[in-house]
Amino acid sequence: MNPSFAAIDQGTSSTRLLLASAGTAPQLSLALRNAPQHPRPGWVEQAPLELLAKVEACLQAAGRVQAIGIANQGESCLAWDARSGEPLSPVIVWQDDRTAQQLAALRAEGVQALTLERAGLPLDCYFSASKLGWLLRNDAGVARAHRAGRLRLGTTDAFFLDRLTGQFVTDASTASRTSLMNLASGAWDPTLCALFGVPMECLPAIRPTVGDFGLYRGIPVTASIVDQQAALYGHGCRAAGDAKITFGTGAFALALTGAQIPRAPTSGLLPTVAWQIGAERSYALDGGVYDAGSAVEWAGRIGLYTDLSEITAFGAAPAIARGLAFVPALSGLACPHWDRSAAALWVGMNAATTRQDLCQALLEGIALRTAQVVRVMDGHIGAAVRLRIDGGLARNPYFCQFLADATGRSVATRRFDELTALGCAALAARGVGQTLETPDDDDVASLFEPRTAPADALAWQLRFAEAVSKTMGWKRELSAVA
Ligand SMILES: O=P(O)(O)OC[C@H](O)CO
């Protein structure tokens, strides 16, 4: 029998297909790698047609399902031609920092109060707005299409949906990551669009997360959502305070907060739309670490290990306890620091330091950065007893144990851990009035209990915070020297 639902998890590092039906175990049926390009330092791009081809390959492999859901990589955005559908730009990935200087200048003018108030977001190039404005100012083809009245600007979901179903639409969760949507009204905000130089008429219509996104070869697309929010749903988080951390390209902690916009302006946490079902918008607080899986991938690429199995256990004491730290700021620092001028750093090496030590410090650095986010989350939603995690690093036992030690919390991994895709499939099922089960708190594959004395964990945190402070502003100082 054909599976009922297909979910595409179109993430930064891979495009995956999950097939699911009520009452049977969901199956990951295809996983295709994406390799973001770095044409200049700080720039991160992907080829739109390549991503689209992978999404289509997944959809074709899915066959005749009842409904389709698509999860997207959030803030990544592009320009394309309204008439031909041809891309006019690469996908500018959320990690890309090409607009850092422009945003630093706006911050210096005091504009951030406006974006925080309207979009809930700080002035950081993470969000799509400054990149869409950049495209219009710096790409002659994009400017020409605008003059000719045939320009479309948007996040990757809007491009995929336009090409797959002919609908030029996005959903409220994705729109909330652009810094162009007014968080209170759920509509594009003319003041924000003017601030970033993004013509509002070039943006897609904003729809609820579950609903009508058109037909792909006769099959309804009934859900479209940011991957992080999909994972939140996939973990079974439905009540205010429920939270998860996904370790994908980056690490993103999201805590559901309910129907009110959670304002936490000085914490560095972001209010965001979790999902909109009908007229009801649910919000979440989001805290991110820009580089998690991408830092691990980079370490492999530069030859620090050849196989991931080499970095799942270490004979030595924690690197941080030996004075060796790594700050994973390859794309700068997000929550709670928000410093794009920060750079990655290893500190504390000596002549005896090995590649293994560097890898150990790298994993610990991702966990310690995550612990910084967990601490600020605690201040706003109350301390979670247990951290629900998923993503590639959730399969690394050293990482999970160290995260438990660094945060002083139990860390739970799930038996079925394709939770972005599962959440997306469950939302697609809702779109046709059906229910697909998501895990509950008993559904645990491994539980890692903290084994380190709280005083030691605190000492690690303080040492790590010192290392973080050394990374901040590094690139700013570099441009002053150049
Ligand atoms: O590609 P991922 O899985 O790290 O997720 C991308 C995030 O949504 C970026 O905000």
Closest CA to 324 of 305, 343, 349, 345: 349
Burial label for 435, CB within 10 Å (0-12, 13-18, 19+), is exposed
Give me the phi and psi of 63, to 5 degrees please.
Answer: 70, -155
Any atom of ligand 1 within 6 Å of the Cβ of 227: yes
pLDDT at residue 461 is higher than 60: yes
Q: Is 271 helix (H, G, I), strand (E, B) or coil?
A: strand
Among the listed ranges 1-10, 42-51, 159-168, 429-438, which one has the minimum average pLDDT value?
1-10
Separation in Å, CA 283 to CA 119, 157, 449: 13, 20, 30
Nearest atom within ligand 1 for CA of residue 292: 4
Distance 252 CA to ligand 1 centre (A): 8
Mean pLDDT over 418-447 rounds to 95
Ligand 1: atom nearest CA of 226 is 8
Domain boundary among 174, 206, 235: 235
* Pair (294, 377) in one structural domain: yes
Query: Are 345 and 474 found together in one domain?
Result: yes
Q: Ligand 1: does its nearest atom lie under 6 Å from the Cβ of 391? A: no
- Find out whether the beta carbon of 188 lies less than 6 Å from any atom of ligand 1: no
Domain hosting residue 182, numbered range: 4-235
At residue 476, the pLDDT reads 82
Please tell me the distance between residue 295's alpha carbon and the centre of ligand 1 in angstroms. 14
Nearest CA, atom 6, ligand 1: 73
Per-residue pLDDT at 480 exceeds 60: no
Please identify, by atom number, the ligand 1 atom nearest to the C-alpha of residue 72.
Answer: 8
Answer yes or no: do 296 and 379 share one domain: yes
CA of 228, closest atom in ligand 1: 8
| Residue identifier of the C-alpha nearest atom 5 of ligand 1 | 73
Structure tokens at 321: 């306890």
* CATH code for position 92: 3.30.420.40
- Read off the pLDDT of each residue in 404-431 and give the average, rounded to a whole number: 96
Q: 272: CA distance to ligand 1 center in Å? A: 14
Q: How many domains does the chain have?
A: 2
Q: Is the distance from the beta carbon of residue 226 to the nearest atom of ligand 1 less than 6 Å?
A: yes
CA distance 277 to 272: 15
Helix, strand, or coil here: 301?
helix
Q: For residue 135, which of 148, 126, 145 has the smallest C-alpha distance?
A: 145
Closest protein CA for atom 4 of ligand 1: 249
The residue out of 194, 214, 235 marking a domain boundary is 235
Above 90 in pLDDT, residue 11? yes
Q: Give pLDDT tens digits for 300-355.
A: 999 999 999 999 999 999 999 999 999 999 999 999 999 999 999 999 999 999 99
Query: Is the C-beta atom of 75 inside 6 A of ligand 1?
Result: yes
Query: Do the Cβ atoms of 421 and 444 come closer than 8 Å?
Result: no
Rounded average pLDDT over 406-414: 96
Of 215, 235, 255, the residue at which a domain comes to its end is 235
pLDDT digits (tens, 9 = 90+) for 249-289: 999 999 999 999 998 878 899 999 999 999 999 999 999 99
Sorting pLDDT into bands at 50, 70 and 90, what band is 4?
very high
Query: What pLDDT does residue 440 have?
Result: 87
Residues 300 and 219 in one domain: no
In a domain, 94, yes or no: yes
Over pLDDT 70: what percentage of the chain? 99
Cis peptide before 262 (omega within 30 of 0): no
**How far away, in angstroms, is 48 Cα from ligand 1 center?**
16
Q: Which of 173, 225, 227 to mutate to test the pocket of ligand 1 (most atoms within 8 A of CB)?
A: 227
Atom number of ligand 1 nearest to Cα 251: 4
Q: Is 121 in the pocket of ligand 1 (CB under 6 A)?
A: no
CA of 75 to the centre of ligand 1 (A): 8
Does a structural domain hold residue 379?
yes
Domain membership of residue 318 (yes or no) is: yes
pLDDT tens digit string along 211-225?
A: 999 999 999 999 999
Considering the domain architecture, whether residues 141 and 254 belong to the same structural domain is answered as no
Nearest CA to ligand 1 atom 3: 248
What ipTM was estimated for this complex?
0.96
Q: What is the mean pLDDT of residues 66-95?
A: 98
- State the closest ligand 1 atom to the C-alpha of 12, by its place in the atom list counted from 1: 1
The answer to whether residue 108 scores a pLDDT higher than 50 is: yes
Residues 227, 319 share a domain: no
Ligand 1 centroid–CA 286 distance in Å is 12
Mean pLDDT on 117-137: 97
264/351 same-domain check: yes
Q: Report yes or no on 438 lying in a domain.
A: no
Q: Is the pLDDT of residue 481 over 50?
A: no
Q: In sequence order, which residues have a C-beta less than 8 Å from that of residue 472 and are 6 or more positions away? A: 333, 337, 339, 341, 342
Closest ligand 1 atom number to CA of residue 11? 1
d(CA 31, CA 314): 29
Name the residue of 91, 179, 247, 252 to mutate for ligand 1: max ligand atoms within 8 A of Cβ: 252
Other Cβ atoms less than 10 A from the Cβ of 139: the count is 16
Residue 126 to residue 124: CA distance in whole angstroms: 5
Q: Is residue 439 part of a domain?
A: no
pLDDT of residue 482: 41
Compute the distance from residue 229 Cα to the ligand 1 centre, in Å: 10
Domain shared by 55 and 138, yes or no: yes
Q: What is the arithmetic mean of pLDDT over 44-50?
A: 98
Contact 96 CB / ligand 1 (< 6 Å): no
